[in-house]
Amino acid sequence: MVFYTEYSLEGSNTFNIKAKANVFYEVSLREDLDSFVRKRKFMDMPRLVLGNGSNVLFVKKRFKGVVLKNEMKGIDFVSETDNEVVLKVASGEDFDEFVDFCLKKRLHGAENLSGIPGSVGGAVVQNIGAYGQELKNLVQSVEYYDFDDLEVHTIDNAGCNFGYRDSVFKHELMDKTFIMSVTFKMSKKYTPIIGYGALQERLTGYSVLTPMLVRKAILSLRFEKIPDYRQYGNAGSFFKNPDITPEEAQKMAKQHPEVKMFEQEDGMFKIPAGQLIDLCGFKRTPTPTVGVAYTNALILMNLGGAKGREILDYAKKIKKAVKQRYGVKLEPEVVII
């Protein structure tokens, strides 16, 4: 059992916010969880499970509780058929390293999720998605430790209740579970997914699409759009891209013809929130410590020494301006703590 007190979280969140945790507890094994729950003092404190800290914003100077840092590692082969391979992946594995591992083993499905920072556990919580692929399409089941009954449970894909950047772990199972592993069903056959505009453009001219080529194209697109958090702290997209109904879309097209929209399979229209933020002029109005990325206004950045509260205040300003001008309500994608 390894734990620290008065722990600085600055290196444990990609916004690089200088918050502290009363207790920081590293979990590498199931036994670490068993030891944790036996400590009454810890169980009585607020809990926060942290993967790579790539989707959180600490707004208070101190987290008055225990941060459970997920350090569970390992990838196990489970089964194989003619078309698929099932892998059980420990939740503390780095998600992009897992994508790379799959490519090297010629297992497919995850290449479009290349370059997303974060852990495998965190990826499930928010059903990460990019370039036409979503994690939910690969997950077979999730194993978690339940802090209420102190048992390990397994839920299947349907039980995860996946939605756009959403899962049961953001609702019913929030704050009472620790995801231990995720079982993925990977395909032996490669079917390229390149419908996403920017990706298609980047791949024009190639007669054969290999998974590695698609991964490289995506990594280069991300590199151009998303600032390196080691330089400017950020958590990728700060807000979700809102969906509007066809009627609302029609109205929007009339009132604001400059706004681009994408029709979805379910008939709803997705508005790139970054575009609305840009149109409201936020690229030109940074504060000394907070601004949006010039390459993508959906990304809020710590320009140096920002407090979590300052980033949140800036996000509120953005939310208000977008609502006022476009009547669209932005919801944060980042978890605010």
List the catalytic residues: 165, 237, 333
Which residues in the 74-133 window bind ligand EPU by CB under 6 A? 130-131
Residue 162 as a binder of ligand EPU (CB under 6 A): the answer is no
DSSP for 140-151 reads EEEEEEETTT--
46, 197, 246, 281: which one binds ligand EPU (CB under 6 A): 197
Q: Distance between CA 227 and CA 12 in Å, rounded?
A: 18
Choices 84-92, 237-245, 276-284, 323-331; region in contact with ligand EPU by CB under 6 A: 237-245
Contacting ligand EPU (CB under 6 A), which of 121, 237, 318, 337? 237
User: What is d(CA 206, CA 258) in angstroms, rounded to the nearest whole number?
Assistant: 32
234: closest CA among 242, 219, 222, 243?
A: 222
The torsion angles phi and psi of 24, rounded to 5 degrees, stand at -125, 115
* 262 part of the interface to ligand EPU, by CB under 6 A: yes
Say whether residue 242 binds ligand EPU (CB under 6 A). Answer: no
CB of 125 to ligand EPU, least distance (A): 12
Which residues within the stretch 290-329 sit at the binding site for ligand EPU (CB under 6 A)?
Answer: 296, 298
- Kindly state the tokens that stand for 162: 């996946």
Q: Minimal distance in Å, beta carbon 227 to ligand EPU?
A: 12
| DSSP letter string, 242-293 | PEE-HHHHHHHHHH-TT---EE-TTS-EE--HHHHHHHTTGGG---SSEEE-
- Specify the residue, 25 or 53, whose C-beta has the smaller distance to ligand EPU: 53
| 97 sits in which H/E element | helix 95-104
Binding site for ligand EPU (CB under 6 A): 130-131, 196-198, 236-237, 240-241, 262, 270, 272, 274, 296, 298, 333
